[in-house]
């Protein structure tokens, strides 16, 4: 009976779209590099302290290499959702290019240390993928960061690459079976004006329609909090 | 009689020699206690002695301190299991905290809840015990007993507990002897020693020293015995616990308390559970180690499995079920002191019952009359609902007149509203019987006696064995005197020359004498006390009005009288008793009568109530019928046996066992309460579960020794009530049978409740096992399990206690305590591995459905655990490439808990329905008869819905609002359970005794 039920269950489940998606909406946020927890601490002058971060970032960015992107994905029209709903459910969907080079100082191309050697570290921000989700409801979701604890005055300003928002053309996502080469769009943040050696608690949040970033239960919904300690 | 009295001298009593005050002369006595046999003590002296000796009252047997009573409630078999589980939880919590990776406080919560359950149910049990103790306490005489005492030469009435050694007290008929008293003077003083020795014959007491043994000498009256008649004064020689009765009462505490059958059952059950838990735990420990978990992790798994195996709700269920029955019993006049005793009664296989008061009404009642050469039956029912005899005969008028006039008993005043049979009377038992009988026949007897003015009377004494009185006649014109006489029939007959037949005086020839003999033998053979009655109208010439009758000189004729008839009396059985005994018999319970009464009376009552059935013969009966000596009778032929105390004394325990084995119908007569203990022990040696009834202080050792001691609420002494496990408020044997029925029902229903409760243990455990072995996200959380165990499923499992019996349980043999266990292997196996397994499948189906519909396909789930539980990983991909934050996954996990919970609930509804019967089809038992069960199901569903959909639940108790269709996924499994069990029951019914029956009938 169990087998029959499980079989019946699997028959009724679509391989392309989950029956329900309400549990993953609104999207969560994740950063890279993440080594262990959400604490980034290093001494700029000592490569050993930040090597693990740059390695992680490099690995993370491999699929975003320009060549790779150009080979697999197409260039899309910025500023509009890239909808492909007219096609069959099982048909493969095209994915938009997100080139590593667009990350500028945070691409690791010019500066393989992602700014860590200068004490101006890069953090990559990624919004969790949700099938069919159209973030911002027409207007792109922007990113902003602020220091919550520590020497707040020494936080300065941050730089965003390529922009401080997620371009609409990367949405919606069609699921891993059909949207095979999909690469999540990223926002790289460079903390270039931090002037303290004490730990800073930084929170980056998404701003946009339909984004929830004040959930008490889920601290990773539409926002992410991490500590940053940059030694000399 | 003296020999008999000696039997109660218990070895323990003898080790503390009783003082020899009974041998002292009055002068020595006065010296010893600084008192006076005429004036009593001085009040100052009395106050000093009171200071020294304390109050004259029996101290309650060193009461167990309340905290120990409470502690005992916390230390049962199940309780211990839960304590161990709680400790394990603490250890697991400690390990996790020590490691520093504390993700949840589940272990701590679990430990706290386990302890809370034990404590709460402990309080419950303690409250129950406390309440019934209070009921007992309320029986104690609230009005302190008074005693008449001489102090400083003056007579005082003081509370009996203020009496001291050396006090001179006065006692009269109707009083209770206030302490052990050395008689100084007495007039026709008689005491009833039955509460001490069990013998119901009145014992006379006088100042004479007759025996060295204080218990046999006639010059001591014992504490708590009743004065029947006469007046006496005496010096108190012992008070309070130093009295004979006090010493015996303290003996009871020396008899060990037996474990109740239900306690044994629960221990057996705990053994099974603990064994299985450790087996499972160890297996999965090994599995976890081989899979590659670290030792500490595997250890925590081991502990979690052991704890998951503990049926947290069971303790509450058992306690509530038992107290429900206790409450039901209380309504039927059985107060249960100890909850477990409820069930003990159900497994009882032998009842040793008292005769007087329990089987009988404890009221001498006229049962037969012999006049006009016929034996007439009187109505002996308690409420006078029976048939009476034809009262039209002249002879009856004459006989009734003698019975009414030659009688010194009177009703106590102020009882006009009380029905005649229940009124209190001053006078001895047979006079009381006659008084009530004539009151019922003639109406107001006081008035009647006034019409026949009494001129003189001679009270009964043991030398002439008759009582007579002379009266004026009712008709004022008839100046003759009427002499009426009653007494031992043969003595009365000797004095008669005529006999009244149908109003005619006929000469008393040999033929009539023979008729008299036959009637006398017949009535005596019924075990009844027979009295003869005669009268004579004195001639006016010899005894004119104003004649000075002198009873000492006997200046009037006392022979040549006219014989009126015989009246016989018996303490008749209670109306409900024969039926109750019959019920016991069909229920396979042996009723043994143990009485201090005469063997013939005992046998007659036994035959009357059915303890000795029709057609059963004793060895003596067979000998008589076959006209052979008793020795030649094959003892195996005799079903019945009447043993008296004397014979019992000479028996070894093997002989007694043998006797009990050979004769199914036993009556022990002339036994002392001490011998009751021997009989109980013998029955227990034969493997029976013995219930004993008793009321006297002396019964308390036997009551304590018995598996269930039943004390009488009305006549019982406090000591007996203290020693007993149960108290019959109405002293009625029939109430015991009700108790047995309830006890058996609760055993059956507990079995059902336990089966129901155990079943869900498997669907609670398997998620964890699967979680460990295949590393899926945890399907069922610890708090959710606690909600199932302690919230939703409690009411349904308790509601099974309201289930009606499946078949006539009173037609079955008592359960064999060694074979018919409360929880046997087939119950555990069926619940765990069959129904429990189906429930697990239901849960997993719902679990996987819920996960799959949200995006986590079953195959992905396998091995997902470490990523799933990583609190830092906010981008775990599901089967569709969507990324989930930790909190999102956690809520998904709670959703899984909830659907698993709902699955178990739905299956448990089906489970509670199938548990209604163990053998019958549900269609035979009826779905809707047990209203409590139905409301329990509704309650369960409502509570489940509330838990799922109440806002705030996700973060407090890990319940998530789930989609409606997930409620229906387990329904097919529920139906499967139902059909599956119907098939099992069908097989059990169709093929009794087959392999199927043995394996699947629990």
Q: What is the pLDDT of residues B839-861, one digit of tens each?
A: 999 999 999 999 999 999 998 99
Per-residue pLDDT band for B333 (boundaries 50, 70, 90) equals confident
Q: Best interface-test mutation with A: which of B779, B867, B870, B874 has the largest number of A CBs within 10 A?
A: B874
**Minimal CA–CA distance to B904: which of B940, B934, B935?**
B940
Q: Is B888 in contact with A18 (Cβ distance < 8 A)?
A: no
Q: Is the pLDDT of residue B739 over 80?
A: yes
- pLDDT tens digits for B293-310? 888 778 777 877 777 777
Instruction: Find out whether B198 and B596 touch, Cβ atoms under 8 Å.
Output: yes
Residue A155 vs residue B387, higher pLDDT: A155
Q: Best interface-test mutation with B: which of A34, A89, A129, A172 has the largest number of B CBs within 10 A?
A: A129
Per-residue pLDDT band for B37 (boundaries 50, 70, 90) equals confident
- pLDDT tens digits for B401-416? 898 888 888 888 878 7
Scan for tokens 């020294």, then name that residue: B52
Q: Is B845 in contact with A2 (Cβ distance < 8 A)?
A: yes
User: Mean pLDDT over all residues of chain B?
Assistant: 83
Instruction: Find out whether A128 and A104 touch, Cβ atoms under 8 Å.
Output: no
Q: Measure the CA–CA gap between A98 and A73, rounded to whole angstroms.
A: 9
- pLDDT tens digits for B101-115? 656 677 788 888 888
Which residues touch A120 (CB under 8 Å, ≥6 apart)?
A: A190, A191, A192, A194
Q: Is B872 in contact with A218 (Cβ distance < 8 A)?
A: no
User: In the numeric block, which tokens belong to residue A13?
Assistant: 């489940």
Per-residue pLDDT band for B503 (boundaries 50, 70, 90) equals confident
User: In the numeric block, which tokens belong to residue B880?
Assistant: 């569709």
- Mean local confidence (pLDDT), B5-14: 38
* Strands (DSSP E) found in chain A: 29-32, 39-43, 122-127, 141-149, 158-161, 165-166, 186-191, 200-207, 223-231
Per-residue pLDDT band for B756 (boundaries 50, 70, 90) equals very high
Residue A207 vs residue B355, higher pLDDT: A207
CA-based radius of gyration for chain A: 19
Under DSSP, the state recorded for A212 is -
- Mean local confidence (pLDDT), B204-232: 81
What pLDDT is recorded for position B133?
A: 66
Q: Is A220 in contact with B849 (Cβ distance < 8 A)?
A: no
Q: Measure the CA–CA gap between B758 and B315, rounded to whole angstroms.
A: 12
What pLDDT is recorded for position B17?
A: 54
CA-based radius of gyration for chain B: 37
Please report the DSSP string for B500-514 in residue order: EETTEEEE--HHHHH
> Chain B: residue nearest A29 by CA?
B874
- Mean local confidence (pLDDT), B563-578: 88
Among the partner-chain residues B858, B874, B976, the one whose CB lies closest to the CB of A28 is B874
- pLDDT tens digits for B875-904? 899 999 899 999 999 999 999 999 999 999
What pLDDT is recorded for position B838?
A: 93
* Strands (DSSP E) found in B539-683: 561-570, 590-594, 640-644, 665-669
Q: Is B888 in contact with A2 (Cβ distance < 8 A)?
A: no
Give the dihedral sign, CA A132/A137/A139/A141: negative
Q: What are phi and psi of B104, to 5 degrees?
A: -145, 155
Which residues touch B529 (CB under 8 Å, ≥6 apart)?
A: B364, B430, B568, B569, B570
What pLDDT is recorded for position B199?
A: 58
- Mean local confidence (pLDDT), B751-760: 90
Residue A182 vs residue B211, higher pLDDT: A182
B520, containing H or E segment = helix B510-525
Residue B642 gets the label, from left (phi > 0), alpha (psi -120 to 50) or beta, of beta
B277, containing H or E segment = helix B261-291
What pLDDT is recorded for position A130?
A: 92
Q: Measure the CA–CA gap between B244 and B142, rounded to whole angstroms.
A: 24
Residue B870 gets the label, from left (phi > 0), alpha (psi -120 to 50) or beta, of beta
Instruction: Find out whether B167 and B134 touch, Cβ atoms under 8 Å.
Output: no
CA distances from B205 to B38, B467, B635 (A): 19, 20, 42
SS3 B358: coil
User: In the numeric block, which tokens belong to residue B385?
Assistant: 């609902």
Q: Measure the CA–CA gap between A175 and B878, rounded to whole angstroms.
A: 10
Partners of residue A27 in chain B, C-beta under 8 Å = 883
Per-residue pLDDT band for B980 (boundaries 50, 70, 90) equals very high
Q: Is the pLDDT of residue A79 over 50?
A: yes
Q: Is the pLDDT of residue A195 over 80?
A: yes
- Mean local confidence (pLDDT), A88-117: 88
User: In the numeric block, which tokens belong to residue A23?
Assistant: 């549990």
Q: Is the pLDDT of residue B908 over 90?
A: yes
- For B571, half-sphere exposure in the C-beta direction (CA atoms, 13 angstrom radius) is 20
Per-residue pLDDT band for B923 (boundaries 50, 70, 90) equals confident
Q: Measure the CA–CA gap between B359 and B648, rounded to whole angstroms.
A: 22
Least confident of A156-160, B377-381, B404-408: B377-381
Among the partner-chain residues A16, A20, A220, the one whose CB lies closest to the CB of B874 is A220
Partners of residue A126 in chain B, C-beta under 8 Å = 875
What pLDDT is recorded for position B903?
A: 95
Which residues touch A84 (CB under 8 Å, ≥6 apart)?
A: A93, A94, A174
What pLDDT is recorded for position B442?
A: 81
B601, containing H or E segment = helix B599-609
What pLDDT is recorded for position B2?
A: 32
User: In the numeric block, which tokens belong to residue B363?
Assistant: 């009221």
Q: What percent of chain B has pLDDT over 70?
A: 94
Q: What are phi and psi of B571, to 5 degrees?
A: -85, 100
Q: Is the pLDDT of residue A136 over 70?
A: yes
Q: Best interface-test mutation with B: which of A220, A221, A223, A227 has the largest number of B CBs within 10 A?
A: A220
Instruction: Find out whether B173 and B228 touch, Cβ atoms under 8 Å.
Output: yes
What pLDDT is recorded for position B777?
A: 93
- pLDDT tens digits for B631-640? 888 878 888 8
Residue B964 vs residue B1, higher pLDDT: B964
Q: Measure the CA–CA gap between A226 and B566, rounded to whole angstroms.
A: 111
Q: Is the pLDDT of residue B242 over 90?
A: no
- pLDDT tens digits for A14-62? 888 888 888 888 899 999 888 878 889 999 888 899 999 999 999 999 9
Most confident of B184-193, B602-611, B978-987: B978-987
User: In the numeric block, which tokens belong to residue B170?
Assistant: 């006065």
CB within 8 Å of chain B, chain A residues 6-65: 6, 9-10, 13, 16-21, 23-24, 27-30, 34, 36-38
Among the partner-chain residues B844, B881, B892, the one whose CB lies closest to the CB of A175 is B881
- Mean local confidence (pLDDT), B972-987: 93
Q: What are phi and psi of B373, to 5 degrees?
A: 60, 30
Is the predicted ipTM greater than 0.90, yes or no? yes
Chain B nearest-CA distance from A177, in A, is 7
What pLDDT is recorded for position A14?
A: 85
Q: Is the pLDDT of residue B144 over 80?
A: no
Per-residue pLDDT band for B99 (boundaries 50, 70, 90) equals confident
Chain B nearest-CA distance from A98, in A, is 18
User: In the numeric block, which tokens belong to residue B434?
Assistant: 């006659």
User: Mean pLDDT over all residues of chain A?
Assistant: 88
Q: What percent of chain A has pLDDT over 90?
A: 29
What pLDDT is recorded for position A2?
A: 82
Residue B3 vs residue B971, higher pLDDT: B971
Answer whether 0.80 is exceeded by the pTM.
Answer: no
Q: Measure the CA–CA gap between A140 and A185, rounded to whole angstroms.
A: 12
Per-residue pLDDT band for B195 (boundaries 50, 70, 90) equals low
Q: Is the pLDDT of residue B474 over 60?
A: yes
Instruction: State the Cα angle at B315 between B313 and B320, rounded to 5°.
Output: 95
């Amino acid at each position: 009976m169990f087998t029959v039920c499980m079989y019946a269950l699997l028959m009724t489940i679509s391989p392309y779209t989950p029956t329900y998606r309400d549990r993953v909406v609104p999207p969560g946020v994740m950063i890279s590099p993440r080594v262990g927890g959400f604490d980034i601490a290093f001494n700029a002058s000592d490569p050993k302290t930040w090597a693990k971060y740059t390695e992680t970032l490099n690995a993370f960015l491999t699929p975003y290499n320009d060549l790779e992107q150009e080979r697999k994905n197409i260039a899309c029209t910025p500023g509009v959702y890239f909808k492909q709903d007219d096609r069959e459910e099982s048909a493969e969907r095209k994915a938009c290019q997100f080139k590593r080079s667009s990350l500028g100082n945070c691409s690791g191309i010019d500066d393989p240390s992602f700014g860590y050697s200068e004490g101006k570290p890069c953090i990559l921000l990624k919004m969790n993928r949700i099938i069919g989700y159209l973030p911002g409801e027409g207007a792109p979701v922007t990113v902003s960061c602020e220091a919550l604890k520590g020497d707040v005055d020494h936080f300065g300003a941050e730089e965003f690459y390529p922009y401080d928002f997620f371009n609409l053309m990367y949405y919606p996502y069609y699921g891993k079976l059909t949207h095979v080469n999909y690469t999540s769009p990223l926002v790289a943040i460079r903390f270039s004006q931090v002037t303290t050696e004490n730990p800073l608690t930084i929170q980056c949040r998404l701003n946009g329609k339909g984004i929830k970033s004040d959930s008490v239960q889920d601290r990773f919904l539409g926002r992410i909090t991490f500590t940053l300690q940059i030694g000399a | 009689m003296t020999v008999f009295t000696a039997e109660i001298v218990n070895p323990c009593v003898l080790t503390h020699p009783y003082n020899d005050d009974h041998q002292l002369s009055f002068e020595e006595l006065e010296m010893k206690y600084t008192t006076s046999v005429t004036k009593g003590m001085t009040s100052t002296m009395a106050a000093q002695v009171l200071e020294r000796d304390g109050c004259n009252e029996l101290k309650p047997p060193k009461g167990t301190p309340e905290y120990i009573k409470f502690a005992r409630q916390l230390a049962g078999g199940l309780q211990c299991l839960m304590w161990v589980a709680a400790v394990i939880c603490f250890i697991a919590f400690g390990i996790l905290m020590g490691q520093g990776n504390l993700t949840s406080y589940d272990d701590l919560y679990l430990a706290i809840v386990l302890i809370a359950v034990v404590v709460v149910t402990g309080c419950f049990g303690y409250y129950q015990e406390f309440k019934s103790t209070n009921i007992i306490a309320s029986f104690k005489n609230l009005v302190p007993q008074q005693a008449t005492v001489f102090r400083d030469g003056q007579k005082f009435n003081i509370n009996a507990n203020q009496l001291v050694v050396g006090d001179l007290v006065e006692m009269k008929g109707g009083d209770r002897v206030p302490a052990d008293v050395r008689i100084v003077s007495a007039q026709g003083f008689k005491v009833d020693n039955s509460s001490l020795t069990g013998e119901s014959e009145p014992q006379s007491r006088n100042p004479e020293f007759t025996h060295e043994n204080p218990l046999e000498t006639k010059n001591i009256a014992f504490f708590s015995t009743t004065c029947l008649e006469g007046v006496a004064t005496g010096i108190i020689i012992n008070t309070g616990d130093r009295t004979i009765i006090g010493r015996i009462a303290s003996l009871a505490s020396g008899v060990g308390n037996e474990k109740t059958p239900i306690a044994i059952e629960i221990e057996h059950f705990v053994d099974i559970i603990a064994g299985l838990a450790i087996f499972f735990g160890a297996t999965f420990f090994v599995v976890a180690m081989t899979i590659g978990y670290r030792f500490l992790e595997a250890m925590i798994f081991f502990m979690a499995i052991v704890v998951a195996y503990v049926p947290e709700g069971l303790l509450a269920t058992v306690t509530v079920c038992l107290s429900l029955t206790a409450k039901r019993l209380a309504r039927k006049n059985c107060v249960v002191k100890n909850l477990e005793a409820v069930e003990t009664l159900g497994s009882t296989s032998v009842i040793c019952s008292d005769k007087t008061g329990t089987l009988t009404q404890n009221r001498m009642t006229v049962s037969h009359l012999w006049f006009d050469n016929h034996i007439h039956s009187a109505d002996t029912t308690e409420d006078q609902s029976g048939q009476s005899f034809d009262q039209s005969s002249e002879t009856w008028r004459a006989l009734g007149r003698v019975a009414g006039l030659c009688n010194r008993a009177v009703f106590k005043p102020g009882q006009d509203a009380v029905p005649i049979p229940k009124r209190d009377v001053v006078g001895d038992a047979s006079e009381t019987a006659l008084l009530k009988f004539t009151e019922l026949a003639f109406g107001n007897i006081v008035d009647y006696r006034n019409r026949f003015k009494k001129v003189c009377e001679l009270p009964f004494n043991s030398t002439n064995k008759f009582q007579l009185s002379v009266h004026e006649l009712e008709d004022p014109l008839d100046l003759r005197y009427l002499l009426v006489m009653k007494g031992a029939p043969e003595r009365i007959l000797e004095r008669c020359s005529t006999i009244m037949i149908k109003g005619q005086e006929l000469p008393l020839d040999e033929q009539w004498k023979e008729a008299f003999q036959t009637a006398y033998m017949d009535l005596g053979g019924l075990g009844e006390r027979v009295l003869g009655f005669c009268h004579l109208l004195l001639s006016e010439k010899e005894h004119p009005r104003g004649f000075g009758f002198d009873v000492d000189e006997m200046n009037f004729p006392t022979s040549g009288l006219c014989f009126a008839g015989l009246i016989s009396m018996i303490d008749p059985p209670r109306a409900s008793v024969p039926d109750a005994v019959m019920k016991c018999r069909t229920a396979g319970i042996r009723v043994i009568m143990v009485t201090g009464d005469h063997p013939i009376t005992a046998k007659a009552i036994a035959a009357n109530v059915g303890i000795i059935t029709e057609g059963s013969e004793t060895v003596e009966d067979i000998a008589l019928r076959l006209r052979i000596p008793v020795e030649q009778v094959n003892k195996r032929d005799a079903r019945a046996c009447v043993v008296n105390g004397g014979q019992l004394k000479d028996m070894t325990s093997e002989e007694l066992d043998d006797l009990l084995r050979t004769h199914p119908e036993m009556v022990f007569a002339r036994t002392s309460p001490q011998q009751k203990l021997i009989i109980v022990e013998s029955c227990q040696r034969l493997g029976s579960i013995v219930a004993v009834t008793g009321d006297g202080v002396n019964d308390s050792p036997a009551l304590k020794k018995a598996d269930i001691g039943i004390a009488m609420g009305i006549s019982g002494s406090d000591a007996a009530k203290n020693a007993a496990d149960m108290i019959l408020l109405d002293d009625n044997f029939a109430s015991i049978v009700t108790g047995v029925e309830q006890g058996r029902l609760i055993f059956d229903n507990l079995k059902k409740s336990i089966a129901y409760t155990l079943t869900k243990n498997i669907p609670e455990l398997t998620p964890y096992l699967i979680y460990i072995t295949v590393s899926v996200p945890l399907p069922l959380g610890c708090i959710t399990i606690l909600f199932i165990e302690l919230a939703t499923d409690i009411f349904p499992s308790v509601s099974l206690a309201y289930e009606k019996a499946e078949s006539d349980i009173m037609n079955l043999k008592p359960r064999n305590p060694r074979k018919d266990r409360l929880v046997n292997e087939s119950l555990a196996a069926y619940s765990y591995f069959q129904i429990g397994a189906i429930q697990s499948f239901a849960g997993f189906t719902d679990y996987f459905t819920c996960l799959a519909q949200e995006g986590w396909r079953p195959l992905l789930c396998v091995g997902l655990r470490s990523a799933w539980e990583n609190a830092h990983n906010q981008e775990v991909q599901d089967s569709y490439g969507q990324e989930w934050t930790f909190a999102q996954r956690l809520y998904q996990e709670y959703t899984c808990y909830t659907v698993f919970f709902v699955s178990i609930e739905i299956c448990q509804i089906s489970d509670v329905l199938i548990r209604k019967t163990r053998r019958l089809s549900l269609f035979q038992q009826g779905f809707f008869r047990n209203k409590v069960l139905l409301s329990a199901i509704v309650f369960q569903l409502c509570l489940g819905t509330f838990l799922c959909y109440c806002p705030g639940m996700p973060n407090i108790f890990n319940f998530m609002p789930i989609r409606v269709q997930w409620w229906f996924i387990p329904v097919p499994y529920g139906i499967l359970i139902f059909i599956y069990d119907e098939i099992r029951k069908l097989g059990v019914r169709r093929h009794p005794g087959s392999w199927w029956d043995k394996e699947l009938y629990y």
